[in-house]
């Protein structure tokens, strides 16, 4: 456990959450059913109870194609009398990383026969929150609906350990006052996201859960028994570009969910049969291409059929080709771009953003500006020395 001068990570998180209750008229917890949001939820519930601010609003934007264990966990949370449930099972669209059909309609009102499971009796089922139908714009629209004229802090379970991008985003620039561990959502309205366990490790998370006896999503136990690496365990939606690899094991872990998912989405069984090669860049360049850039440009129009997704990817690739024209080992970037094509990652550009903010690329930019770089960083950087 990381120790600070005045507190350990648990005490630091408790102090941050208490401060958020001081600062904001409204505090909402975003619950995904995962281990990190479980910790945040229980810490926030304890603070709300101390202040007499129960029930605590808890929200989940249900992406339909979820592990059944995740849905069970969230339902248990929503039925807790200390919670004001905000479970959204509303129509919207999301990227589909399992086939060339780039988008999928979540909770499609025209095809209730295809839904993965029945809707919860007390869920919000109509999208009355604005014209936007994509996942990320809905968060802002929902918050504006509930808090049009008052401040709101939404608390989530994002941690810096999970990726270089998250580490940079949560430690570099102030979001609200002096706090870096958050994001600005709508500052004019006083709407912000905060991540009070941003500096926790996964060991801290599991230590807190077991020490306090907090209920958690049991899919983690099944993944552990199956042999997942503990840092690869995800309970998020099953069609996200970072979750596709879970489809290789789902048939054994949750066979009923697997059967429903194969009926609900295209490309699921294909991913299963192709196993690790389904959404991963080949280790070796196919022999008929001269370099990875040529391979990238060959795949883009043939695998990405949605015009918007194809345009976004082509535009980003062209911008990176120009921006990093002097960078050595361009093949390393082109492999990431191939992976973006294979996972249809043309909406949020997760893979490309993570590559651009990775430490080696950041060091290259500093070197390019003429900043002083420690010799060992220069010596080991493939983008500088090849």
Task: Read off the CATH number of the domain in which 45 is found.
Answer: 3.40.50.620
In a domain, 248, yes or no: no
How does DSSP assign 207-275, residue by residue?
HHHHHHT----THHHHHHHHT--GGG---S-TTSTTTGGGGGTHHHH-HHHHHHHHHHSTTHHHHHHHG
Q: Can you tell me the distance from the alpha carbon of 24 to that of 143, in angstroms, rounded to the nearest whole number?
A: 14
Do 338 and 191 belong to one domain?
A: no
Q: Which of 158, 181, 202 lies at the terminal end of a domain, its last residue? A: 202
Quick one: pLDDT at residue 84? 98
Looking at the DSSP assignment, which residues form a beta bridge with residue 152?
26, 191
Q: Which of 202, 232, 263 lies at the terminal end of a domain, its last residue? A: 202
Q: What is the mean pLDDT of residues 88-96?
A: 85
In a domain, 224, yes or no: no
Paired tokens of 297: 């440009």
In a domain, 149, yes or no: yes
In a domain, 326, yes or no: yes
Quick one: pLDDT at residue 343? 78
Do 198 and 296 belong to one domain?
A: no
- Domain of 320 in residue numbering reads as 292-385
Task: Note the pLDDT tens digit of each residue in 368-386.
Answer: 999 888 888 888 899 998 8
Domain count, the chain: 2
Cα of first residue to Cα of last residue in the chain, in angstroms, is 38
Quick one: pLDDT at residue 377? 83
Quick one: pLDDT at residue 168? 76
Phi, psi (rounded to 5 degrees) for 126:
-115, 140
Residue 281 or 339, more confident = 339
pTM (predicted TM-score): 0.77
Do 198 and 297 belong to one domain?
A: no
Quick one: pLDDT at residue 227? 81
Do 152 and 20 belong to one domain?
A: yes
Residue 162 or 44, more confident = 44
Q: What is the mean pLDDT of residues 20-49?
A: 97
Closest CA to 305 of 93, 107, 96: 96
**Dihedral sign computed on CA atoms, order 85, 241, 169, 189:** negative
How does DSSP assign 316-333, residue by residue?
HHHHHHHHTTT-S-HHHH
Closest CA to 159 of 32, 56, 69: 32
Residue 254: pLDDT band with limits 50, 70, 90: confident
Quick one: pLDDT at residue 100? 57
In a domain, 258, yes or no: no
Paired tokens of 321: 């080709």
Q: Which of 202, 224, 242 lies at the terminal end of a domain, its last residue? A: 202
Residue 39 or 252, more confident = 39
**pLDDT at 277 > cutoff 60:** no
Q: Can you tell me the distance from the alpha carbon of 317 to that of 351, in angstroms, rounded to the nearest whole number?
A: 12
Task: Note the pLDDT tens digit of each residue in 347-359.
Answer: 778 888 889 888 8
Quick one: pLDDT at residue 348? 73
Task: Note the pLDDT tens digit of each residue in 322-336.
Answer: 999 999 999 999 999
In a domain, 350, yes or no: yes
Q: Can you tell me the distance from the alpha carbon of 19 to that of 69, in angstroms, rounded to the nearest whole number?
A: 33
């Amino acid at each position: 456990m990381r120790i600070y001068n005045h507190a350990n990570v648990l005490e630091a998180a408790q102090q941050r959450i208490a401060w958020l209750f001081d600062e904001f008229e409204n505090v909402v917890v975003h619950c995904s059913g995962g281990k990190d949001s479980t910790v945040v939820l229980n810490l926030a519930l304890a603070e709300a109870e101390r202040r007499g601010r129960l029930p605590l609003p808890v929200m989940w934007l249900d992406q339909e194609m979820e592990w059944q264990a995740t849905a069970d966990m969230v339902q248990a949370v929503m039925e807790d009398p200390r919670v004001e449930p905000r479970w959204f099972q509303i129509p919207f669209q999301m990227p589909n990383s399992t086939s060339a059909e780039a988008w999928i309609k979540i909770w499609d009102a025209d095809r209730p026969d295809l839904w993965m499971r029945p809707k919860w009796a007390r869920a919000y089922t109509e999208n009355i929150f604005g014209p936007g139908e994509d996942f990320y714009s809905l968060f802002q629209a929902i918050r504006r609906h509930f808090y049009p004229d008052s401040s709101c802090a939404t608390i989530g379970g994002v941690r810096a350990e999970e990726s270089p991008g998250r580490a940079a985003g949560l430690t570099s620039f102030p979001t609200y006052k002096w706090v870096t561990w958050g994001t600005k959502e709508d500052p004019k309205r006083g709407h912000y996201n905060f991540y009070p366990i941003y500096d926790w490790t996964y060991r801290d998370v599991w230590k807190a859960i077991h020490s306090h006896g907090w209920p958690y999503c049991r899919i983690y136990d099944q993944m552990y028994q199956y042999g997942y690496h503990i840092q690869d365990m995800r309970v998020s939606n099953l069609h996200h570009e970072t979750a596709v690899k879970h489809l290789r094991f789902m048939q054994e872990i949750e066979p009923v969910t697997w059967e429903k998912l194969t009926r609900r989405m295209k490309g699921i069984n294909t991913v299963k049969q192709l196993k690790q090669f389904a959404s991963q860049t080949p280790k070796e360049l196919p022999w008929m291409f001269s370099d990875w850039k040529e391979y990238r440009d060959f795949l883009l129009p043939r695998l990405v059929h949605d015009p918007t997704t194809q345009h976004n990817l082509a535009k980003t690739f062209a911008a990176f080709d120009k921006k990093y024209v002097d960078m050595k080992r361009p093949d390393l970037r082109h492999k990431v771009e191939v992976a973006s094509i294979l996972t249809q990652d043309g909406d949020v550009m997760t893979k490309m953003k993570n590559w651009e903010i990775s430490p080696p690329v950041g060091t290259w930019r500093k070197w390019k500006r003429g900043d002083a770089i420690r010799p060992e960083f220069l010596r080991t950087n493939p983008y500088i020395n090849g």
